[in-house]
Structure 1
Amino acid sequence: MLREEAGRRGLSPIQARFLVYLLHRPVELRRVGELAREFGLTPATASGAVDALQRKGLLVREEWPEDRRYVTLRLTGAGRSIAGELSGWSGAVREPLGELGGEEKEVLLGALLRLVASLQREGLVRARMCLSCRFFRPDAHPGRERPHHCALLDVPLAVRELRVDCPEHELHVQGGGG
Structure 2
Amino acid sequence: MDPRQRAAGIAMALLRLARAAEAEAREQGQAEGLTPAQAAVLRFAAKTRPDMATPGQLARLLGVRPPTAVGIVNPLVERGLIERRPHPFDGRQSVLALTAAGWEAWGRLERWQAGLEETLAALPPAELAAFEAVLAKVVAAEVRAGRLVVSAPCAGCVHFRPGAHPGSDRPHHCALIDRALGAAEAAMECPEHTPAAG
Pick the TM interval, shorter chain: 0.5 to 0.7
User: Which position in structure 2 is the counterpart of 1:15?
Assistant: 38
- 1:47 and 1:53 map into 2 onto residues whose CA distance is 10
Judge conservation of contact 1:20–1:84 (CA < 8 Å) in 2: no
Judge conservation of contact 2:82–2:98 (CA < 8 Å) in 1: yes
- 1:19 and 1:171 map into 2 onto residues whose CA distance is 25
Unaligned stretches of 5+ residues in structure 1: 136-151, 153-164, 173-178
Superposition map of 1:74-113 within 5 A = 74-113=97-136
In 2 relative to 1, CA 67–122 (structure 1 residues): closer, same or farther, beyond 3 Å? closer
- Residue deviations 1:5-56, cap 9 Å, x none? 2223222221111111221111022111111111111111111111110001
Amino-acid identity (%): 33
User: Which position in structure 1 is the counterpart of 2:93?
Assistant: 70
In 2 relative to 1, CA 18–166 (structure 1 residues): closer, same or farther, beyond 3 Å? closer
Residue 74 of structure 1: SS of its match in structure 2?
strand
- Residue deviations 1:42-73, cap 9 Å, x none? 11111111111000110111112333322111
Match of 2:48 among 15, 21, 25: 25
Judge conservation of contact 1:128–1:171 (CA < 8 Å) in 2: no
Code of the residue aligned with 1:93 in structure 2: it is: L
- 1:127 and 1:58 map into 2 onto residues whose CA distance is 24
Judge conservation of contact 2:84–2:95 (CA < 8 Å) in 1: yes
Code of the residue aligned with 2:69 in structure 1: it is: A
Deviates more, 1:78-87 or 1:88-97: 88-97
In 2 relative to 1, CA 114–88 (structure 1 residues): closer, same or farther, beyond 3 Å? same
- 2:81 and 2:136 map into 1 onto residues whose CA distance is 32
- 1:167 and 1:11 map into 2 onto residues whose CA distance is 23
Q: TM-score, normalised by structure 1?
A: 0.66
User: What's the Cα RMSD here?
Assistant: 3.2
In 2 relative to 1, CA 30–134 (structure 1 residues): closer, same or farther, beyond 3 Å? closer
Unaligned stretches of 5+ residues in structure 2: 1-23, 159-174, 176-188
Q: TM-score, normalised by structure 2?
A: 0.60
- 1:77 and 1:89 map into 2 onto residues whose CA distance is 20
- 1:73 and 1:27 map into 2 onto residues whose CA distance is 8
Deviates more, 1:10-19 or 1:100-109: 100-109
The answer to whether the aligner puts 1:38 opposite 2:38 as a matched pair is no
Code of the residue aligned with 2:110 in structure 1: it is: S
- Looking at secondary structure, tell me which structure has more helix per residue: 2
- 2:157 and 2:115 map into 1 onto residues whose CA distance is 34
Deviates more, 1:116-125 or 1:106-115: 116-125
User: Which position in structure 2 is the counterpart of 1:60?
Assistant: 83
Code of the residue aligned with 1:59 in structure 2: it is: I
Code of the residue aligned with 1:4 in structure 2: it is: E
